[in-house]
Structures are given as C-alpha cells and as structure tokens.
Amino acid sequence: MENMTMTSHVDTCFDCAKACEECATACIEAGDTDSKGHDMTACIKLCRDCADICTLCGRLTARGSQFMKSFMAVCAEACEACAAECEKHASHFAHCKACAEACRKCAEECRQMAA
C-alpha cells in the first residue's frame, strides 16, 4: 500500500472519529431526545463505538499492522451503521449531518483499502 494513501486513510479515520465524538457529545448535551421527540440513545452509542473503531483502524493503518486490512472491514461496517443512524437526524442537527458524511467517506475508503 502506498505511503501517501495510507497517510490519507489514517487522516480519514481520525477525522471520522472526531466527527463521531463531536456528534455524541452534542447529542448528550441536547438530552436523550431531539426536538421531535426521537430517542438519541442509539445515535450516541453508535457514535461512541464508531469513534473508537475508527481510532483503532487509523492506528493500525499508521503502523502498517498485519491486521489493518481485516480491521478496515469492521470499521466500514461500524461507519455504515453510524451513518445510517445519524442520517435519521441530519435534517435537524448539523452535527449528525457532518457525522454521517464523515462516516460514509470513511466506510468507502475502508472498503477500497481492504479490497
């Protein structure tokens, strides 16, 4: 794997983790439900899981771990689940929209890199 591609992927993973952390924090600060009464618990949980998984994926990629490619598949799965949940709230929360976009980008890259 080309070094520049790996560096870019590491950045994508960490950018996604950051978006997930920001989304989870904003959801927690807003309370357990959004303005339309939707329960935000699933969003918070998925964002927290996704942030941890993306961080580990980025770290494994940065060190060229023998496990990075198989872990990228797990990362893509987590990102897709998080994006799907955040998209439910994207029309009324900018942080959910940003998180969904970062997760979709990371999932796509992980799938390409793992292939």
Q: Phi/psi of residue 91, each to 5°?
A: -75, -20
Which pLDDT value is given to residue 3?
65
Q: What is the pTM of this model?
A: 0.92
Name the one residue in this structure whose structure tokens are 């997930």. 20
Per the structure, the count of domains in the chain is 1
- CB count within 10 Å of CB 60 equals 20
Q: Structural domain of residue 57, as residue ranges?
A: 3-114
CB 64 within 8 A of CB 36: no
Over range 60-78, report the average pLDDT: 96
| Percentage with pLDDT > 90 across the chain | 79
Does 37 score more than 90 pLDDT? Answer: no
CB 24 within 8 A of CB 96: no
Q: Regarding predicted confidence, which is higher, 6 or 41? A: 41
Which pLDDT value is given to residue 21?
98
Does 1 score more than 60 pLDDT? Answer: no
Could you tell me which residues are beta bridge partners of residue 33? Answer: 39
Which pLDDT value is given to residue 4?
60
